[in-house]
Amino acid sequence: MVTTEKKYETESTPKQLMEKWLRINAARYSLNRPDGKLNEEGISQITKIANWKPEGGAARTPGSKNPPTPRKKQQTR
């Protein structure tokens, strides 16, 4: 599993973790083009499908235990 490896802790989103892992393991999964360069389009497509946290938005700070501040309700007139 990508997220249990310490060397990936500095990345902020599951998609970024997957991109980094796929680049490191590109040869293993045939993600290199014939000219030897990475198949960036292929990596991008894989991460779109495999992203287990697609809601996006700002990433939470790793290790932060503070819950998000609730939004104030708008007053109706």
- Convert the pLDDT of each residue in 33-43 to its tens digit: 999 999 999 99
Question: Does the residue 15 lie in any domain?
Answer: yes
Question: Does the residue 40 lie in any domain?
Answer: yes
* Interior/surface letters 29-48, b for 16+ CB within 10 angstroms, e for the rest: eebeeeeeeebeebbeebbe
Question: Does the residue 44 lie in any domain?
Answer: yes
Q: What is the DSSP letter of 54?
A: T
pLDDT at 50: 76
pLDDT at 28: 94
**Rounded to an integer, what distance in angstroms lies between the CA atom of residue 60 and that of residue 2?**
18
Q: What residues contact residue 47 under an 8 Å CB cut-off, 6+ apart?
A: 15, 18, 19, 22
pTM higher than 0.85 for the full model?
Answer: no
Q: How many domains does the chain have?
A: 1
Range of the domain at 37: 2-50
Helix (H) / strand (E) element for 21: namely helix 14-24
Both structure tokens of 59: 């990433």
Question: Does the residue 39 lie in any domain?
Answer: yes
Instruction: Give mean pLDDT, residues 12-32.
Output: 88
Residue 22: pLDDT band with limits 50, 70, 90? very high
pLDDT at 68: 67
